[in-house]
């Protein structure tokens, strides 16, 4: 390795000889970094326009190498450049990028410290680009992108990572395996994700400015790029399952209402893409894009069409609608129970469901195709994209009443349902003291022996604090004792780490949420404003539940499993209120007469 070299410039090119020779390379050769301190490596990736021969005629002041290879794609070309580089610092420059004269020097100076970082400079659309829908849209996008990085820094993966005008130590690139050559698109995004997971820090360098020359045609953006980006999103989601919840394409698939899901399925599975129907109006808007209304309309149509082609590409990569839905669009209804057993005098009326009613509810859901899962199953699906049945439902039981061992858990086991019981770890074998002080009747709680036995039978247990305290009212020390202490106590009892927590009373604040987030993989809350349905995008530490009421019928419970609430229950409540108002009015009139 040549010790004098401080930077290796890696550029891949494919059939862009004229732009490369006239604008891109002259800007690269005219840097204020001394010519003997950097080299330029151009990988000609199967070009058929004479690029290689034209490049060999150049005599630049810096070290200059041309590597010609069969067309293998951008990722493979960049990996070829990484392997050939003789400096330990590599900067990637696309063949349509014009660099400002100080770009290389700024990148070198940004790496003077001992810490390995990824440094990416600013990118803008080059001035003078011809007017088009995409030109105007890209110009605005670049300005918003750079402005956001100035205001919030280069946090990853919350920020977009563009590899062009980015510098990375060669040793870091080799350690992570370079770029993924199997991806059809977004190879730089995937590289950034791997580097971030390795603990590499990202730094934004706004003074290192470069400009993009070309803008793709709207047809290429809509059809070719749309499909490859959609397929790549699925590939990314499979390689990095935790990314699925951040994907602009995949994250919200299950959250739409049923009729929109049906319409989307029809559009995506039709033999001909509906995006073709938008081609003519987009073309017309392109011709008249000098008018703001046509620019806005054309861009909106282009966004709709691109969304369609991306979804169709994702569906194609998934292999079938069933696979697509199974990997990215699962919905999890969560039912919340407290006491299942015989009623006792003084018990709070909303907490007890009779054993007979509970078994009817479980039997009904089983016949309707639902399968009871555990929090661990939902966590595995979030992290790996697999392992969930077609119609999952999660039964949760707060407080850990002893009657569950006699009346609820045997029923669940009989029907093959998993579930989770949230126990108050400071009260094993005790009573519901937190309700007793409010005047409720006394209930025994599960003992340590019962908890261990049912854990062996496949029932999962989670933490519900040490004393059933309202977490939103505690000091930091008390909060740590209730949250961390309950997890440790239950883990000690079960001999394994506890993955989930349930907020007592459903109450939490910012401090409680952060404390739970730092110690558990999942957490469950209850709030009447939120339905008890959870999706890939749902905060794993604010998973919502719907509370089953003592009078719920099997139809009510299925409604909760389908929609997260019972519309029939609300309707009955309104009818009862209406009846009461009518009776009150009659009494008033009778009293008046």
What one-character-per-residue DSSP string does 356-395 give? HHHHHHHHHHHHTT-EE--HHHHHHHHHHS----SSEEEE
238 in the same domain as 195: no
313 in the same domain as 236: yes
Six-digit token pair at 401? 């009443």
- Output the pLDDT for position 148: 77
- Output the pLDDT for position 259: 82
Question: Of 214, 234, 265, which marks where a domain is finished?
Answer: 214
- Output the pLDDT for position 425: 97
- Output the pLDDT for position 161: 76
Query: CA quadruple 83, 86, 87, 88: dihedral positive or negative?
Result: positive
Name the 3-class secondary structure at 142.
helix
Counting beta carbons within 10 angstroms of the beta carbon of residue 130, is it exposed (0 to 12), middle (13 to 18) or buried (19 or more)? exposed
Is the residue at 587 inside a domain? no
Q: What is the CATH number of the domain that holds 44?
A: 3.90.550.10
Whole-angstrom distance, CA of residue 257 vs CA of residue 531: 13
Give the domain range for residue 22. Answer: 7-214
340 in the same domain as 308: no
Structural domains counted in the chain: 3
- Output the pLDDT for position 569: 61
- Output the pLDDT for position 345: 77
Question: DSSP secondary-structure letter at 21?
Answer: I
Is the residue at 18 inside a domain? yes
- Output the pLDDT for position 583: 60
Is the residue at 591 inside a domain? no
- Output the pLDDT for position 357: 97
Whole-angstrom distance, CA of residue 78 vs CA of residue 80: 5
Q: Which residues of 550-588 are buried (b: 16+ CB within 10 A; e: fewer)?
A: eebbbebbbbbbbbbbbeebeeeeeeeeeeeeeeeeeee
Q: What is the CATH number of the domain that holds 552?
A: 3.20.20.370
501 in the same domain as 366: yes
Whole-angstrom distance, CA of residue 30 vs CA of residue 267: 51
Strands 332-337 and 543-547: parallel
Task: With 0.85 as the threshold, say if the pTM is over it.
Answer: no
- Output the pLDDT for position 590: 55
Strands 166-169 and 117-125: antiparallel
- Output the pLDDT for position 582: 45
242 in the same domain as 206: no
Is the residue at 70 inside a domain? yes
- Output the pLDDT for position 344: 78
301 in the same domain as 175: no
Mean pLDDT per 10-residue interval, the chain, length 593 residues = 80 90 93 96 95 94 96 95 96 95 96 85 88 88 82 61 91 95 93 91 92 88 95 93 85 80 86 94 94 94 95 94 90 96 81 95 97 97 90 97 97 97 96 87 94 97 97 96 97 97 96 97 92 93 96 94 82 51 51 52
259 in the same domain as 227: yes
Whole-angstrom distance, CA of residue 397 vs CA of residue 523: 13
Is the residue at 1 inside a domain? no
Is the residue at 580 inside a domain? no
- Output the pLDDT for position 152: 61
Question: Of 328, 352, 372, which marks where a domain is finished?
Answer: 328
Is the residue at 576 inside a domain? no
Whole-angstrom distance, CA of residue 493 vs CA of residue 41: 61
- Output the pLDDT for position 580: 53
């Amino acid at each position: 390795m040549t010790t004098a070299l401080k930077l290796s410039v890696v550029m891949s090119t494919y059939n862009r000889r004229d732009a490369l020779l006239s604008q891109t390379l002259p800007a690269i050769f005219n840097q204020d970094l001394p010519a003997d301190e950097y080299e330029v490596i151009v990988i000609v990736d199967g070009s058929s326009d004479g690029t290689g021969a034209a490049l060999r005629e150049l005599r630049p002041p810096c070290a200059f190498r041309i590597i010609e290879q069969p067309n293998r794609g951008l990722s493979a070309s960049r990996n070829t450049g990484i392997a050939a580089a003789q400096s330990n610092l590599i900067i990637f420059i696309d063949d349509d990028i014009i660099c400002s004269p100080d770009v290389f020097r700024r990148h070198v100076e940004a790496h003077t410290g001992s810490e390995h970082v990824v440094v990416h400079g600013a990118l803008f659309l080059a001035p003078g680009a011809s007017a088009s829908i995409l030109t105007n849209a890209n110009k605005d996008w670049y300005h918003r992108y750079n402005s956001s990085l100035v205001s919030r820094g280069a946090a990853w993966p919350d920020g977009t990572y563009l590899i062009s005008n980015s510098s990375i130590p060669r040793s870091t690139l080799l350690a992570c395996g370079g770029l993924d050559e199997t991806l059809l698109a977004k190879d730089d995004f995937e590289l950034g994700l791997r580097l971030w997971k390795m603990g590499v820090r990202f730094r934004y360098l706004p003074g290192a400015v470069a400009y993009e020359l070309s803008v793709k045609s709207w047809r290429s953006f809509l059809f070719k790029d749309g499909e490859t980006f959609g397929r790549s999103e699925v590939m990314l989601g499979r390689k990095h399952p935790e990314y699925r919840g951040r994907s602009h394409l995949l994250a919200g698939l299950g959250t739409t209402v049923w009729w929109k899901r049906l319409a989307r399925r029809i559009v995506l599975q039709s033999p001909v893409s509906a995006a073709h129907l938008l081609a003519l109006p987009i073309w017309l808007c392109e011709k008249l894009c000098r008018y703001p209304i046509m620019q806005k309309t054309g861009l909106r149509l282009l966004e709709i069409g691109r969304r369609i082609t991306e979804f169709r590409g994702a569906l194609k990569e998934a292999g079938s609608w069933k696979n697509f839905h199974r990997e990215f669009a699962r919905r999890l209804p969560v039912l919340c129970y407290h006491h299942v057993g015989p009623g006792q005098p003084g018990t709070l009326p909303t907490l007890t469901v009779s054993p007979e009613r509970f078994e009817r509810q479980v039997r009904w859901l089983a016949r309707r195709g639902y399968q009871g899962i555990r929090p661990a199953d939902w966590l595995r699906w979030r992290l790996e994209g697999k392992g969930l049945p077609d119609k999952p439902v999660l039964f949760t039981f707060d407080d850990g009443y002893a009657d569950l061992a006699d009346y609820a858990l045997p029923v669940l086991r009989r029907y093959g349902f998993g579930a989770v019981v949230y126990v108050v770890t400071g009260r094993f074998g005790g009573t519901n003291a937190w309700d007793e002080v409010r005047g409720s009747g006394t209930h025994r709680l599960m003992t340590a022996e019962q908890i261990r036995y049912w854990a062996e039978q496949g029932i999962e247990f989670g933490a519900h604090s040490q004393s059933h305290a309202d977490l939103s009212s505690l000091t930091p020390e008390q909060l740590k004792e209730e949250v961390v202490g309950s997890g440790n106590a239950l883990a000690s009892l079960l001999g394994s780490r506890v993955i989930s927590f349930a907020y007592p009373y459903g109450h939490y604040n910012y401090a409680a949420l952060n404390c739970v987030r730092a110690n558990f993989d999942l957490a469950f809350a209850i709030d009447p404003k939120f339905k008890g349905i959870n999706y890939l995008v749902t905060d794993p530490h604010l998973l919502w539940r719907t509370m089953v009421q003592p009078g719920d019928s099997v139809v009510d419970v299925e409604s909760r499993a389908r929609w997260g609430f019972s519309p029939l229950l609300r309707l009955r409540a309104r009818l009862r209120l209406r009846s009461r108002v009518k009776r009150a009015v009659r009494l008033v009139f009778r009293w008046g007469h």
